[in-house]
Every structure is written in structure tokens, then in C-alpha cells.
Amino acid sequence: MNSETDVQTEQIDIAVIGAGLGGAAAAALLEAEGFKVDVFEQAPEFVRLGAGIHIGPNVMKIFRKLGLEDRLAGIGAHPDFWFSRDGRTGEYLSRIKLGDFAKSEYGAPYITIHRGDLHAEQIAILPKERLHFDHRLTDIEEREDHVLLSFANGKQVAAKLVIGADGINSAIREKLLGVEKPRFSGWIGHRALVDMDKLRATGLEYERCVKWWWEQSRHIMAYATKGDDSEYYYVTGVPVDSWNHTEGFVDSSREEMEAIFGDNAHPMVRGLIDATTEVTKWPFWNRDPMSLWSQGRLCMLGDACHPMRPHMAQGACMAIEDAAVLARSLTLTGAEDYKTAFKIYENARRERATKVQTISNANTWLKQPEDPAWVYAYDPLTVELT
């Protein structure tokens, strides 16, 4: 122990800050490799947040390693295709094969699932005694042989390594790169779980995964979130001039959906609007690719180092891929040689994460027929590490 550290301060090996999708994955994967990991999450307890999320075969391979693949595949929906369609005429712009094709060609299923269901499964496999809710990181002090972490609840720990999986407003990013608010991307999204009875009453057969497109790349991405098709969700993307609310999200309405998408809408889009009872709208925040991902004993992953607009449905997938590659890098070098491990990790991840960030922000993914193999066939568990 360093003499500067109070004798009462708990000593730990690896601290993961944030138990979101990326942090929970990092903790589970590092534990599986034999590291001792403590996770610190600001939320007072686990809450089933969010709504729909896509998990590609690239990440289902990681859940296979964690023993979660079959459970998640049992809960989530399995779209046979990602369709892109014109929001007025219904014309098919692309039909990207998923379903059995994803299993045979990309090595694992492609699922769509409620984010809360996914997160609950990830949290359930973490050792309870090392998952610390109600721990908001407020201060980081780098010492010679550890990092002193202070939390809003008054606790302090001395960690040998710190992984910042604390999202777009990351305290670790702030420590490494200074205070800078994320930028409003100029886009918002409306999010709604639709009323299934109203949807069924249309008599139309809703596809399990379809993105409806309009001018300026405005869109509605609609999909099932449960294997039994009992839940259907949509998230929109709409360019706007500004976001003037202080809240993280605000209420929207069916009328607003009608005003944005209702003009000559295809009958299936009309059905979606009519089946909307509660809908909220959210700003999408962004940052440019970062000049560094790690420094000293601190390292970042996921939205902390490459946030993106969500239009490629790969933001969390990138966070979980990061977690897998970081765990492998540390296993390769051993925790003592964390500097080499962090370099190997960034070498393996920077180009891919930046490419996904760029395409996601451009909102062009799968609008036209294209081969998605470079995203979905990627295997973070075998990709070469140099």
C-alpha cells in the first residue's frame, strides 16, 4: 500500500465504473479470466431501463462465452430480415438476411430484445458482493501504484486499474481529456412501445425488424422485442434545429408523430402512429473520435470513448466488443503490464469503433442492399491482437 493512502481505504484490483451494458460485460469477462473486479454504479439499484435494442451475432458470440446466449435467444425476437422500406409507398429499399442465415454465415443469432431484459441477465451473473450500487464516482486521484477513487456516498477505494464504462458523460473521460459537454447531434428520437391490441386490430402483419425511411433520412425503426411477438417498439430519427430542454427526455404525442410522419403514410406506418399511446422524445448527443482511450492506470470503453447516434443499432454492441477485447488484452499481458494491454486493446478497437461511429452518425446503414458481414461476422473473441 502507498503511504499516502489511508489504512482504512479498501484496496482492490480492477474497478469498473458503470454497470451499464458495457461495464457489466467487462466485469463478467474479466471475472471469467480470473481477475478480481469491483463494479461501481451510480444508480441506487438495478432498474429495467430503456426499451428495444438489437444485438448482432458479433456480440451474441460474447454472450455465448458468458453462458447467456441461449437465455437471451429465448427471450428476444429473431428477425429473419432487416427490411428498409419507403415510409409512404412501402417499397422495399433493402432486405438484409438475418435469422438462420445470420447463424450459419455470421456464427450466432441476430436478436432484438428489451434492453432491460438484456441488462437484467447481464447483472444477474455478476457476483453480488462486488457490484456496488449507489456509488457515483466524484473524484479520481492517480497515485504512484494505484488510483484513489472517491464516491458521492463518502467511500473511497484504491484500485490498481480503472475501467471507465461510465457512458457519454464519463468522469474518466473528463479526467483524461478535460471537461467538455457532449455536442447535440441535431437529431432526436421518439421512442414508444406500441399498443399490441391496436396493432393487431389493423390486420396487418408487422415485420420483426423494419426501418421506414423518408426524406433527409428521417426514419422509424420498428421491431419486436420478445420472442413471442408480444411487444413491439419503435424509435425514430428526426433532424431538428435545436434541443432546448434541460431534461434527458420529454413527452411527445401521437399528434406529433402524425405531424412528422403522417403525410400519405403507408398503412403500416399509419397503424404504428394510431397504436401509439405513450411516446417520449430524446436528444441524441455526440462527440468526435477521441485522441486517447487510456492513460496510466485509466482506460475507457463504450460510450465513454466513442458515443454515436444510434442509427446502426451497434452502440452497445461496440461497448460489449470493447469489453471482450480489453479482457483478452489484459489476459495476454497480465494486469501488471496494463500499459501494453491498453495499447493492444486500442490497436484492435479504434479503427472498427470509429468506422461504426462514423457510419452510425451518417445514418446510411442497410438503407440500400449491402453486405453487413464486416460488422456481424466479426468475432471479438478471436480477432488478432497485436
Catalytic residues, which ones?
Answer: 54, 223
Distance (Å) of CA 263 to CA 89, 217, 257, 276: 11, 16, 10, 16
Tell me the closest approach of the beta carbon of residue 335 to ligand FAD, in angstroms.
Answer: 21
Provide, rounded to whole angstroms, the least separation between the CB of residue 222 and ligand FAD. Answer: 12
The residue (of 40 and 232) whose beta carbon lies closer to ligand FAD is 40
Compute the least distance from the CB of residue 288 to ligand FAD, in Å: 16
Are 52 and 112 contacting, i.e. CB atoms less than 8 angstroms apart? yes
- Kindly state the smallest distance separating residue 336's Cβ from ligand FAD, in Å: 26
| Residue nearer to ligand FAD on the CB measure, 121 or 166 | 166
Question: Shortest approach of ligand FAD to residue 250 CB, angstroms?
Answer: 14
Q: Which is nearer to ligand FAD, 30 or 333 (CB)?
A: 30
Provide, rounded to whole angstroms, the least separation between the CB of residue 316 and ligand FAD. Answer: 3
**Where does this chain bind ligand FAD (CB under 6 A)?**
17-23, 40-43, 53-54, 135-137, 165-167, 171, 189, 191, 235, 302-304, 310, 313-317, 319
* Rounded Cα gap, residues 59 and 74, in angstroms: 16
Contact criterion met (CB below 8 Å) for 83 and 136: no
**What is the rounded end-to-end Cα distance, in angstroms, of the chain?**
33
Nearer to ligand FAD, 300 or 333 (CB): 300
- In angstroms and rounded to an integer, the radius of gyration of the C-alpha atoms of the chain is 21
Orientation of helix 21-32 relative to helix 315-333, angle to 10°: 30
Q: Give whichever of 317 and 344 is closer to ligand FAD, judged by the CB atom.
A: 317
Residue 159 to residue 273: CA distance in whole angstroms: 50
